[in-house]
Structure 1
């Protein structure tokens, strides 16, 4: 499987992969906003 584009939003990613809304979570355990970009999540993960 290919790496997801960094400009893809969380909501689009969840729909595309058949995941229920709220699957992708922030570090504090709350669900991530659906308009947040995958690239932003990757940057946060590097910290």
Structure 2
């Protein structure tokens, strides 16, 4: 992903008119970056 991010930044620098779209793409990629998943805590229910 870092290599792709670098290429997107280089493209955005070369074509300033698409810089906003490039920023959106980088933000989108950050949301789906690989790595350890966060564990969901079990929802406590029925313990009255």
Tell me which of the two structures has the higher relative contact order, counting C-alpha pairs closer than 8 angstroms and 6 or more residues apart: 1
TM-score when normalising by structure 1: 0.26
TM-score when normalising by structure 2: 0.26
Larger radius of gyration: 2
